[in-house]
Amino acid sequence: MRYIILSFSALLLLLSLILFLQGRQGHPLPNHLSKIEKWITPNNRVKVVSTTAIIDSIVEQIGGERIDHISLIEESMDPHSYELVKGDSEKLSFAQIIFCNGLNLEHGASLRYQLQHHPNTFALGDIIQKKIPEKILFNQNQPDPHIWLDASLWAEVVDPIVQALIMADPEGKSYYETQGEKVKNSIVNLDKTIRDQLKMIPSEKKHLVTSHSAFNYFTRRYLTETLDEAINDQWQSRCSSPEGLAPDGQLSCFDIQCVVNYIFQYKVKTIFPESNVSQDSLRKIQSICLEKGFLIEISKNMLHSDTLGSFSQTYQEMLANNANILYQTWIS
Ligand SMILES: [Zn+2]
């Protein structure tokens, strides 16, 4: 009899523990719900939309369990010309906070309209431009939006993200500040690692040809040899691409010929495709060079300019992967 009473008490204790844990954690969501359905389900978390996966990666690392986050523009899609598709307006309207890149990256008319009319849109690149305007590059009076490819610049987005999350969730202030500090340190450390890594490449090999002009900030930060080269626009001789700041522009014979001339001038052996851009222009360049008896290779490893890519879970992995591809190609 005593044994039965003890067993019954143990069962009650176990049931109490399960109920206590369920009360703490809330009811788990069914597994069949999509990422969007989970994101839109009301809870106490801050609902955040970022336009690109690159921004979303930093927001996720800072916000952790206190936020529900999604990126609007799916992998492999071009953020420059992205126009809203079915369901996007609802996501943007439901978001408490929207983070976008600004600097004219998101120039699709329908997306730009929504970004301009949401009460809590934070254009991170525009905020950086106000803080350190001398660091922003321009091409034909257009700001170059690809600031994430210079980690020392991208570290500057951490503080505005932390401030925006605190505004929406003041109770999380110390959490966001602690996370923000960690994320900033990891980006600053990555910046130093890439600088050290690419310093090992001989100067004459550091000439980067890609599909579109996404790597200007990267070139200025990581491929230059002297401070003079970085601040006096001499870095421009270290990169070339047939397509402009946005890969949706018209490609001209003149642009193709400029890159061919660049390849001959600097004896470039390998050119680099990008994961979200067609390789047509690079193939054209390769065939013109071949006609002139100059064999160049299109790298089998694609760089990631505007997207994280399928191999990278985080912004830091994406940038480190880009640097590794260049290092391995140029060191051999
Ligand atoms: Zn781009």
Residues 6+ apart with CB under 8 A from 96: 46, 47, 48, 120, 168
Report CA(280)–ligand 1 centroid distance (Å): 16
The answer, yes or no, to whether residue 171 has pLDDT greater than 50, is yes
Report CA(2)–ligand 1 centroid distance (Å): 74
Averaged pLDDT of the chain: 90
Distance in angstroms (rounded) separating the CA atoms of residues 115 and 51:
9
The partner residues of 208 in beta bridges, in order of sequence, read 239
pLDDT per residue as tens digits for the range 210-232: 999 999 999 999 999 999 999 88
Q: Are the C-beta atoms of 227 and 153 separated by less than 8 Å? A: no
Choose among 178, 159, 179, 155: nearest CA to 167. 159
State what percent of residues in the chain have pLDDT above 90: 78
Report CA(170)–ligand 1 centroid distance (Å): 35
Report CA(328)–ligand 1 centroid distance (Å): 23
Report CA(80)–ligand 1 centroid distance (Å): 6
Q: Is the pTM of this model over 0.95?
A: no
The pLDDT of residue 19 is 36
The answer, yes or no, to whether residue 311 has pLDDT greater than 90, is no
Report CA(305)–ligand 1 centroid distance (Å): 6
Distances (CA, A) of 187 to 22, 32, 162: 37, 35, 15
The partner residues of 47 in beta bridges, in order of sequence, read 68
> Is 269 exposed, middle or buried, given 0-12, 13-18 or 19+ CB atoms closer than 10 A?
middle
Ramachandran sector of residue 57 (left: φ over 0; alpha: ψ -120 to 50; beta: rest): alpha
Report CA(211)–ligand 1 centroid distance (Å): 10
Q: Which of 4-8, 293-297, 309-313, 319-323 has the lowest mean pLDDT?
A: 4-8
Report CA(304)–ligand 1 centroid distance (Å): 10
The answer, yes or no, to whether residue 10 has pLDDT greater than 80, is no
pLDDT per residue as tens digits for the range 158-169: 999 999 999 999
The pLDDT of residue 323 is 98
Report CA(271)–ligand 1 centroid distance (Å): 17
Report CA(215)–ligand 1 centroid distance (Å): 9
Q: Are the C-beta atoms of 120 and 100 separated by less than 8 Å? A: no
pLDDT per residue as tens digits for the range 104-149: 999 999 999 999 999 999 999 999 999 999 999 999 899 999 999 9
Report CA(218)–ligand 1 centroid distance (Å): 12
Cα angle value 187/217/289 (rounded, 5°): 125
Three-state DSSP state, 307: coil
Report CA(105)–ligand 1 centroid distance (Å): 8
Name the pLDDT band for 191 (thresholds 50, 70, 90). very high
Report CA(243)–ligand 1 centroid distance (Å): 10
pLDDT per residue as tens digits for the range 57-111: 999 999 999 999 999 998 778 999 999 999 999 999 999 999 999 999 999 999 9
Report CA(214)–ligand 1 centroid distance (Å): 5
Report CA(91)–ligand 1 centroid distance (Å): 24
The pLDDT of residue 6 is 43
Report CA(114)–ligand 1 centroid distance (Å): 21
Report CA(21)–ligand 1 centroid distance (Å): 47
Report CA(165)–ligand 1 centroid distance (Å): 27
The answer, yes or no, to whether residue 312 has pLDDT greater than 90, is no
The answer, yes or no, to whether residue 310 has pLDDT greater than 90, is no
Report CA(25)–ligand 1 centroid distance (Å): 41
Report CA(324)–ligand 1 centroid distance (Å): 20
Residues 6+ apart with CB under 8 A from 110: 83, 84
Report CA(277)–ligand 1 centroid distance (Å): 9
Report CA(323)–ligand 1 centroid distance (Å): 17
Please state the rounded mean pLDDT for residues 50-55: 97
Question: Among the ranges 7-16, 19-28, 35-44, 85-94, which has the highest mean pLDDT value?
Answer: 85-94
